[in-house]
Every structure is written in C-alpha cells, then in structure tokens.
Structure 1
Amino acid sequence: MTLPTTSVPENSTSDSGVLDLDLYTALVPLLIISILGIVGNVFVLLVFCLHKKACTVAEIYFSNLAAADLVLASCLPIWAAHIADNKFNWTFGSVLCKLYNMVIKMNACCSTYFLVLVSIDRYVALVHPMSHGRMRRPKYAKLGCVLVWGFGLLMSVPTIVYRKAKYHPDHNATYCSLNYTGTHHLIFVGKYALFSFIIPVCIISYCTVKIVQALKNKAMLRFHGEDTENKATFLVLVVLVAFIICWAPYFLLSILEALQIAEILENDSSEMQDIFHTIFTYLAFFNSALNPILYVIVGKNFREKVCELFQSGRFCADLENFPCSRTRLD
C-alpha cells in the first residue's frame, strides 16, 4: 500500500518515493472521515435551510462553512478509490488531476476564512456592539461569504498551474503531483501557510482574546444577556480551538518539508516523518467531520433549531441531556 509523502490535502504524491503501509491503515480512516463529514454537514445544511426562521449572521457563516466542509468530505471517496484500486497510479487524466485538487484546495481555504468571519462577528457583537452593530447584517454576511469563495478560488490558481499528471518510469506509474523546483515549492507552501493558516490564526487569536476579556466583564454580560450572544460565542470558541488543533500540525510539518526540499534544512526524510505526515493530513481532514458534531454537542441554539424542525419531544429531550445543555455559556 502506498501513501503520499508531500502536501496532501491536495492529494499530492511524492516524486522521491512512497511509503508502504497496510491498505486498511490508509483507507479506513479516510472513508470514516468522509462518511462522517458528508452525513454531518448535510444534516447541518438541512437544519439551517429548512428552519422557518431566517439565519442569523453567525448561522450564515456556519452554513457556508458546512458547505465547504461538505465539498471537501465529498472529494475524499475519490481519493480513497484512487488508493484502493490504483495505489496512487493516477488514471483519470491531467484535467481531472487539476480540477480535483483545485476543489480540495479551494474548500480547505474557504473553511478557514469562514471561521475568521465567525470570530470577527463574535468580536464585533461583544466588544463593539454599539459602534459597529450595524455591520452585523445578513446582507453584509452574504457579501463576505461571496468574497471568501472568490478568495478561495484565487488561492487555488497555483494548483491549477503546477498540478500535473506525470509518469514516473522508476515506479512505472503516473502520479498527480505538483511539479516545480525546491525554491518554488518553498514559495508555494509558504504562501499557502501564510494566507491559509498564519494570518487567519492571528486574526482569530486576537478576536478570541478580546472575546474572552469581554465575557469576563460582568457588566457587559448583563448588558447583552447571558442567553443571547454568549450561547453562540461559546460554540464559536470551541470550533476555533478545534480548527487550530486539527490544522496546526499539518502546516508545521508541511513548512518543515518545504525547507528540506529547498535545501535550507538538511533533508533527513524518514519513514517516521512520512507516517506523521499521513496522520496530520487525516487530522486536518477530520476537522471537516468534527464541526457538525460540535454544533450538536456544544451549540444549544443549534439543538433548539433541530427540535423546532423535527417537533419531537423525545428527540428534544435527548438533545437536552448533553452535559453542555445546563452550562451558563451554552
């Protein structure tokens, strides 16, 4: 069984070699993540779309996040089939090689920036409610989502340019891989890490610090009311922490590998590094499946929407038994 050793979530395959692992070790986690991501995000979108009340600003962002995560999770079965049947021998042609990886890159980037919009919305709601409250309108939220989708498409352009289906005689296989020199690889990975992780995390961290400070201010809590803004804020904080935990290891290892390819650091590639790369890649993918679970466990407002939609007393009672249901910031 072979696994990629370069920057996947782009479904990249290393030009320098592959890692032999058992089929189920690579395939089963990928399929589980895909199934959970598809089912969970479809459920979230149905709740937001079918509920009678119009979505709030935060819910507009969360619904777009669910859409991006759904597309990302839907792409994983193609990769799983690619692993199972072809052992990374790409047989789908150069065009699909570019488009498939463009979609993954675009939606991974969009997921990140929808979280940025969510954190900014919570920041404005709690820290500047009077001076910037008019900015928190659905029409502005929808415009922001359109801009994020456009930015994600722009970020995926290098993938379209450099991603190619290339035949490797040494392995007697065609790999869908990124084709550029070590310096270009470093620039590509550095740009992607900067705009898709470092800058978003800096914005999210600043907003989070200000949000926590605002939540500690009891006067502000009384002004807003504990059952309005703070329910959504607690969910946002949990989702943001989950994002950082899932994506930080992948980006750190990707930067390390780029520095090694560019010969800035000694290229001490090992089987253990390949294994960690695979684990961190799957952890990053898992974030798309984790978000819907967090909505149900932590988000009381979301559970209330589900109850109103299904109108089932027993179903609602079961949801209310979650530990977070009775906490003050739920």
Structure 2
Amino acid sequence: MDLNKTTDYLINLTSQRRNFSFSAPSLVTNLVIILFFSISFTVGIIANGLYLWVLRFKMKKTVNTLLFLNLILSYLISSLIMPFQFISYLQEFHWSFGIVMCKVVHSTFSLGMFASVFILCAISLDRYVLTFHPVWSQQHRNTHWASITIMGIWIFAVFLSIPYLVLRETQKDTNGVVTCKNNYALSSNWKSPKTQALRKKVNLALFISRLALGFLLPLFTIIFCYGRIAQKMRQRGLVKSSKPFKIMLTFICSFFVCWMPYHVYQGLLINETHTLVIKQILIITAITITFNIFFSPTFNLFIGEDFKKVFKESIVALFESVLHEESSFELSQNLSTIRSV
C-alpha cells in the first residue's frame, strides 16, 4: 500500500495548522485517517499473523498454500509499516525517523501493493489454467514452479518499488519541521521552475506506470480469467448453484473497490487541486486500504473448505494449549503455597 503522495498533499494542510489558521475539515480528515491506519495495523497484524502461521505450519505445502502464504505476507508487510505513518500523522507530518527509514518505509508500501496485486493475478491465472488445461496442470503444476513464479513476482515488485526508494527524501523547512516526500527531480532546489516542470513529468510517468501495472493489467487479468471460468462452468453445467459465480464476482469487485479510490486519488493529486472532493477521496482511500489489508486475505482464504477446517482446528488447539499452560502454572503456584504453609 503506497501512500507516498498522500503525505505530500497533507503537508500543505499542516503548514496552515502550525500558523493557527486551523481547518475543522482537515482535522476530521486526519483523525479518520489515523483511526483507520490504527485499525489496519492492529487487525492486520493479528489476523494476517494467524493466517500466516496456519498456512506455514499447519497445512501441507501445495501450490495453493504457497500462493496464499505469500499473499498474506504482502499484507503483513504493509501492516507492519503502518505505525511509522501513524506516528508521522500524530506529529503533524513531522518525520522523526531519518532519511533511511523515509526511503525504506514508503518504498515498502509500494512493494506490498505490487506484490499483493501480482499474486492475486497469479491465483486467478492458476485457476484459469486448472480449468482450461487440466492435463498440462497435472504434469507441470507443482510447488517447484510455483516457488519460481512467486520469486519472480517478488523480484518484479522490488524492481517497481526502486523509484520510490530513490526519489523519497526528507526536507527541513524554516521552522525546523522535517517532512518525508518525493523529490521527483532529484534536485535540492525544490522551488525552481525547471525543477517543478521535471517533477511533474516524472510524477506523471510514475503514475501511469503504477496505474497500468498495479491496477489496470491485474484487473483485466482477473476479469478475463474468472469470466472465462464462469462461462465454461455455465456451458457445461458444472454447478447447480450460483454460489461459485457469486464468489468470483465478489473477488473481482473486492479488488476493484479496494484499489480504485487509491488510484483515483493519486490521479487527482497530479493536478494539485486541493478541494473538498480530494479530502473525501483521501478518507475513502484510507478506509479501502484498511478494508483491503483484512478483508482480501480473509475472503480468499475462507472460501476454501480446507483452510477453514484447519484454521478452526489450529485456533482451538492454540487456545487449549494456552489454557492448559495457565492451568499448570496456577496449579504449581498453589502447590508451592501449600508447601510453604
């Protein structure tokens, strides 16, 4: 989840607040963003951590478990970085973690975004190949090739995140406030007209590439794969209920709903028109990012009966183990007390 330009936009609002010309809508916007980032971190760590534990240690290593394990890992990475953004917002966008963390944190947001959408594409393509090429799948679909594919996805996601690692810098204003923002022109002269012109060109190029590779291409791939699968299932009468079609439609809609507001917001920022509409889109973006970090892995995992069964058994066993350890501890404490008396 890359929120690079979100910070750039809100920095302008912050300077007004420090001069005591406070805006109530801006306060509401920031409070809502902080609230949902807090939820993203708390729920994301707990839920995705549990999912990752079950997939890694409680389930057999298969193509599906490998794909979903790495999908959960991409969401968990995004969750882990949320506190840095959260603390920056609490400090009115002052960045107190240094230039290295400025680069690492915001490039990791991009890494999590690209990795998650590419793995969702891989899951869709895997189901497509299983449906239309069952013989080939039986001969070639294995954990070895799945691991190579996943490794390629992570490498490509890292490559696409490098520009944000390079361009992200810290800037100190006259009041001593440090901000973490994109220096698209890689120039120390932030206000030069020539620098501003170059900045807009680089900004636009990155936006188009991120929109194409991080949203449009994955969206069309997912729609194509599930559309063809649904068509074949209808033609051959493979299912008697509408549940599989509803699941596929939900998969497509959830991807669209989770990522569309983010890319709309980034597109509006290129025009640099700070309006109420942009503030509202910003709030929606924060909500959908939170929704995406928790809902997407939960939906994808729990539509599979195997995972639901193993997850429930694992959680019950975990609680029984914890309760057993607590009971043993209490018993030993009581025995010690009796002996001392």
TM-score by length of 1: 0.79
Give the equivalent residue in structure 1 for 2:284.
Answer: 279
Structure (1 or 2) with the greater helix fraction: 2
Secondary structure of 2:9's match? Answer: coil
Do the aligned partners of residues 296 and 131 (structure 1) sit closer, same or farther apart at CA in structure 2, a change above 3 Å counting?
closer
The one-letter code matched in structure 2 to 1:204 is I
Q: Are 1:105 and 1:156, in contact at CA under 8 Å, matched by a contact in 2?
A: yes
d(CA) in 2 for partners of 1:300, 1:10: 40
Give the equivalent residue in structure 1 for 2:192.
Answer: none
Give the equivalent residue in structure 1 for 2:268.
Answer: 256
Q: Are 2:95 and 2:179, in contact at CA under 8 Å, matched by a contact in 1?
A: yes
d(CA) in 2 for partners of 1:236, 1:301: 18
Give the equivalent residue in structure 1 for 2:218.
Answer: 200
Do the aligned partners of residues 282 and 307 (structure 1) sit closer, same or farther apart at CA in structure 2, a change above 3 Å counting?
closer
Give the equivalent residue in structure 1 for 2:253.
Answer: 241
In the TM superposition, residue 102 of structure 1 has moved relative to its aligned partner by: 1.3
Secondary structure of 1:13's match? Answer: helix
Residue 39 (structure 1) aligned to one of 33, 46, 52:
46
d(CA) in 2 for partners of 1:25, 1:279: 10
Structure of greater Rg: 2
In the TM superposition, residue 241 of structure 1 has moved relative to its aligned partner by: 2.9
Specify every segment of 5 or more residues in structure 2 that has no aligned partner in the other structure, as ranges: 15-25, 185-198, 321-341
Do the aligned partners of residues 235 and 308 (structure 1) sit closer, same or farther apart at CA in structure 2, a change above 3 Å counting?
farther
In the TM superposition, residue 144 of structure 1 has moved relative to its aligned partner by: 0.8
Percent identity, aligned pairs only, is 21
Residue 8 (structure 1) aligned to one of 3, 6, 11:
3
Do the aligned partners of residues 153 and 11 (structure 1) sit closer, same or farther apart at CA in structure 2, a change above 3 Å counting?
farther
d(CA) in 2 for partners of 1:192, 1:11: 15
Give the equivalent residue in structure 1 for 2:154.
Answer: 149
Q: Are 1:31 and 1:80, in contact at CA under 8 Å, matched by a contact in 2?
A: yes
Residue 121 (structure 2) aligned to one of 112, 116, 125:
116
Q: Does residue 1:27 correspond to 2:34, yes or no?
A: yes
d(CA) in 2 for partners of 1:269, 1:194: 25
Specify every segment of 5 or more residues in structure 1 that has no aligned partner in the other structure, as ranges: 1-6, 262-267, 316-330
Secondary structure of 1:14's match? Answer: helix
The one-letter code matched in structure 2 to 1:177 is K
d(CA) in 2 for partners of 1:310, 1:160: 38
Give the equivalent residue in structure 2 for 1:217.
Answer: 235
Aligned 1:127-206 pairs, distance under 5 A: 127-169=132-174, 173-180=177-184, 181-206=199-224
In the TM superposition, residue 219 of structure 1 has moved relative to its aligned partner by: 5.3
Secondary structure of 2:12's match? Answer: coil
Do the aligned partners of residues 57 and 245 (structure 1) sit closer, same or farther apart at CA in structure 2, a change above 3 Å counting?
same
d(CA) in 2 for partners of 1:195, 1:291: 19
Secondary structure of 1:87's match? Answer: coil
d(CA) in 2 for partners of 1:295, 1:167: 43
RMSD, aligned α-carbons: 2.9
d(CA) in 1 for partners of 2:302, 2:262: 26
Count of residue correspondences: 291
Secondary structure of 1:269's match? Answer: coil
Q: Does residue 1:60 correspond to 2:66, yes or no?
A: yes
In the TM superposition, residue 240 of structure 1 has moved relative to its aligned partner by: 4.1
Do the aligned partners of residues 253 and 26 (structure 1) sit closer, same or farther apart at CA in structure 2, a change above 3 Å counting?
closer
Moved over 6 A (4+): none
Secondary structure of 2:232's match? Answer: helix
d(CA) in 1 for partners of 2:295, 2:86: 19
Do the aligned partners of residues 292 and 191 (structure 1) sit closer, same or farther apart at CA in structure 2, a change above 3 Å counting?
closer
Secondary structure of 2:144's match? Answer: helix
Secondary structure of 1:18's match? Answer: helix
TM-score by length of 2: 0.76
In the TM superposition, residue 36 of structure 1 has moved relative to its aligned partner by: 1.1
